[in-house]
Amino acid sequence: MKIAEALALRADAARRAEQLRARITASARYQEGETPAEDASALLVEAAGVLGELETLIRRINRTNAATVVDGGTLTDALARRDVLRLRHGVVTAAADAAAGEGQRGYRQLRSELKMVPALPVAELRRQADELARQIREVDTTIQRTNWEVDLLD
């Protein structure tokens, strides 16, 4: 099995666990004299199995990511790089938007009203955001390619 397949299975297991949690919560109490919609005890057993599968997948994925070499580092390093690049992109984009006055009233009706001026260079921030977006795409492409090429470790 490839890493990408394991990631899909992990997402599916996490979804199933959340659905089971909701069903357990809904069935944990019922009105006296009625029958519950579902057996909460059986759902708990099923959830335990799904969570066990999820833990196994997460461990195998993490072990594989740590052992897989990509661009002079590990796949785990590449994932960390992508996460931080996304955070940087968000910060720079938010700064550019704020400096440009997006979402704020930027016009004056009278000369006596205060004029808002940017404290940051909007064009430079937009250029930085574009460069960060390019880097994110490159790292993400490398990660996705690797996910489909590398077999999951036991």
d(CA 79, CA 63) in angstroms, rounded, equals: 13
**Are 127 and 137 members of one domain?**
yes
Give the rounded distance of the alpha carbon of 83 from its chain centre: 9
Q: Measured between alpha carbons, how far is residue 101 from residues 86, 120, 126 in Å?
A: 22, 11, 14
In a shared domain, residues 89 and 108:
yes
Whether 24 and 81 share a structural domain: no
* Residue 106: per-residue pLDDT: 56
Task: Kindly state whether residues 62 and 77 are assigned to the same domain.
Answer: no
Same domain, 59 and 38: yes
Whole domain around residue 94: which residue ranges?
Answer: 69-148
pLDDT of residue 107: 62
Whether 75 and 61 share a structural domain: no
Residues 6+ apart with CB under 8 A from 68: 3, 74, 75, 146, 150
pLDDT in tens, the chain (154 residues): 999 999 999 999 999 999 999 999 999 998 999 998 899 999 999 999 999 999 999 999 999 999 999 999 999 999 999 999 999 999 999 999 999 988 776 566 676 777 788 899 999 999 999 999 999 999 999 999 999 999 999 9
**Looking at 43, 67, 91, which one is the last position of a domain?**
67
Q: Report the predicted TM-score, pTM, of the whole model to 2 decimal places.
A: 0.83
pLDDT value of position 108: 61
Report if residue 153 sits inside a domain.
Answer: no
Domain count for the chain, please give it. Answer: 2
Kindly state whether residues 74 and 92 are assigned to the same domain.
Answer: yes
